[in-house]
């Protein structure tokens, strides 16, 4: 049981990591394909990521010690499934569901139910696609086990069982049928007819844009830091030198990217994701865009790059930025105040900007 808990924690952790990396693209795609951001669909998407990781962890992990591996067997007879069920009923009667063999079969069904749900909700695919995908994915897992992770091990360290293949496929089909209960608007990936129409500029939408900026900036900064550290390590640089240089380059690169994007388009990465734009005002366009940068994510990035006591100023800046969104200033918050601009849905603007 402890091993199962560890595998579950690993699946959730990996799902969260991948979810953070894909969060901003998901929000941007949602606004362009569906006209907005739905919390329910996002939660289903997050659960799908964890599920994908769970398939990997529960079917292939833990990897055994090559020196202590015990080769597993092969069951290619589909009639053994009926025999196992018959024997379980003979042994336990009405309590056959408590039999270990039956529980294993049921778990194989349950494991693939989410696959059918995912295919219908995110792909708009029905039972036929669920059957094919369930069979294909299960076959891939079973063959990976049969081949000892495609030759990594000298033989299969788990049993290749055709019963698992059948039960997994059945689970995917059941999941597809259960997904019919999901509201139709949540299903499929096709662009909704009203996706390009302007939507209200709410405080929640503005905060989501701020979150997208923060997440995207963190991902870029971390990626840059890791890349620089690896490069310096290959060059033989000392650890202290690597850490300091990597942090400086990461901060500079992140600030530069957001500054260039904001000056060039008038919108930060988060603004682009949620289809918002600061516009109007009496200041020259270039100056207004620069002030919008400093009044939002840019100000935070600059403060975060400064040493020592500036960390306290950074915290105050973040808190003030969030609180101002809920004041009479409305969703435009601090960036709108310092730039003198108003906040609108980018799809309200004419020309190419409206089609972004």
Q: What is the dihedral of CA 22, 23, 24, 25, to 10 degrees?
A: 40
User: Which pLDDT band, with edges at 50, 70 and 90, does 207 fall under?
Assistant: very high
By the 8 A CB rule, do 278 and 342 touch?
yes
pLDDT for 39:
79
Rounded to whole angstroms, how far apart are CA atoms 199 and 182?
A: 24
User: Which pLDDT band, with edges at 50, 70 and 90, does 268 fall under?
Assistant: very high
Kindly state whether residues 351 and 207 are assigned to the same domain. Answer: yes
Kindly state whether residues 115 and 220 are assigned to the same domain. Answer: no
By the 8 A CB rule, do 75 and 145 touch?
no
Kindly state whether residues 118 and 26 are assigned to the same domain. Answer: no
Kindly state whether residues 75 and 192 are assigned to the same domain. Answer: yes
Task: Report which of residues 340 and 148 the model is more confident about.
Answer: 340
By the 8 A CB rule, do 27 and 274 touch?
yes
**Boundary-marking domain end, from 197, 219, 248:** 197
Region of 188 please: left (phi>0), alpha (psi -120 to 50) or beta: left
Residue-number span of the structural domain to which 287 is assigned: 203-355
pLDDT for 326:
92
List, as own/partner pairs, every contact residues 56-59 make where C-beta atoms lie below 8 angstroms and the sequence separation is at least 24, other chains included.
56/11, 57/7, 57/8, 57/10, 57/11, 57/14, 58/4, 58/7, 58/11, 58/111, 59/141, 59/144, 59/145
Kindly state whether residues 159 and 130 are assigned to the same domain. Answer: yes
Kindly state whether residues 162 and 214 are assigned to the same domain. Answer: no
**Boundary-marking domain end, from 165, 197, 229:** 197
Can you tell me whether residue 152 is helix, strand or coil? coil
Residue 354 scores a pLDDT above 50: no
Kindly state whether residues 183 and 226 are assigned to the same domain. Answer: no
Kindly state whether residues 321 and 335 are assigned to the same domain. Answer: yes
Residue 126 scores a pLDDT above 90: no
Can you tell me whether residue 173 is helix, strand or coil? helix
Query: Of the candidates 324, 345, 341, 342, which has an alpha carbon nearest to the alpha carbon of residue 333?
Result: 324
160-161 and 74-75 strand pairing: parallel
- Window from 45-54, 83-92, 200-209, 227-236 with minimum mean pLDDT: 83-92
Kindly state whether residues 211 and 344 are assigned to the same domain. Answer: yes
User: Which pLDDT band, with edges at 50, 70 and 90, does 356 fall under?
Assistant: very low
**Boundary-marking domain end, from 62, 92, 113:** 62
Please state the pTM of the whole predicted model.
0.76
pLDDT for 284:
94
Kindly state whether residues 271 and 257 are assigned to the same domain. Answer: yes
Kindly state whether residues 243 and 287 are assigned to the same domain. Answer: yes
Q: How many domains does the chain have?
A: 3
By the 8 A CB rule, do 96 and 89 touch?
yes
Kindly state whether residues 264 and 328 are assigned to the same domain. Answer: yes
Token pair of 98 as six digits: 């408590």
| Bridge partners of residue 344, in order along the sequence | 277
């Amino acid at each position: 049981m402890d091993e199962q808990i560890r595998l579950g924690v690993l699946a959730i952790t990996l799902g969260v990591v991948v979810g953070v990396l894909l969060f901003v693209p998901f929000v941007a795609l949602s606004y362009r394909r569906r006209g907005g951001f739905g919390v329910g669909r996002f939660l289903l998407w997050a659960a799908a990521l964890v599920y994908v990781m769970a398939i990997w962890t529960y079917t292939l992990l833990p990897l055994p010690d090559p020196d202590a591996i015990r080769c597993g067997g092969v069951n290619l007879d589909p009639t053994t499934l009926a025999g196992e069920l018959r024997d379980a009923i003979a042994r336990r009667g009405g309590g056959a569901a408590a039999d270990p063999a039956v529980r294993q079969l049921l778990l194989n069904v349950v494991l693939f139910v989410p696959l059918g749900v995912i295919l219908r909700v995110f792909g708009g695919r029905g039972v036929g696609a669920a059957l094919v995908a369930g069979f294909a994915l299960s076959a891939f897992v079973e063959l990976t086990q049969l081949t000892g992770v495609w030759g990594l091990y000298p033989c299969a360290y788990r049993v290749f069982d055709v019963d698992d293949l059948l039960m997994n496929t059945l689970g995917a089909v059941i999941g597809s049928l259960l997904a019919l209960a999901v509201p139709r608007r949540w299903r499929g990936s096709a662009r909704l007819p009203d996706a390009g129409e302007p939507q209200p500029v709410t405080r929640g939408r503005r905060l989501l844009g701020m979150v997208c900026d923060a997440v995207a900036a963190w991902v870029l900064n971390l990626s840059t830091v890791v890349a620089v550290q690896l490069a310096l390590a290959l060059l033989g640089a000392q650890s202290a030198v690597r850490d300091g240089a990597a942090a400086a380059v990461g901060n500079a690169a992140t600030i530069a990217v957001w500054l260039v994007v904001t000056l060039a388009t008038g919108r930060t990465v988060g603004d682009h994701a949620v289809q918002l734009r600061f516009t109007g005002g009496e200041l020259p366009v270039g100056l207004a865009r620069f002030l919008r940068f400093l009044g939002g994510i840019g100000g935070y990035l600059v403060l975060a790059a400064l040493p020592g006591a500036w960390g306290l100023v950074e915290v105050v800046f973040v808190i003030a930025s969030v609180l101002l969104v809920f004041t009479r200033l409305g969703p435009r918050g601090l960036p709108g105040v310092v730039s003198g601009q108003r906040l609108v849905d980018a799809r309200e603007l004419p020309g190419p900007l409206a089609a972004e």
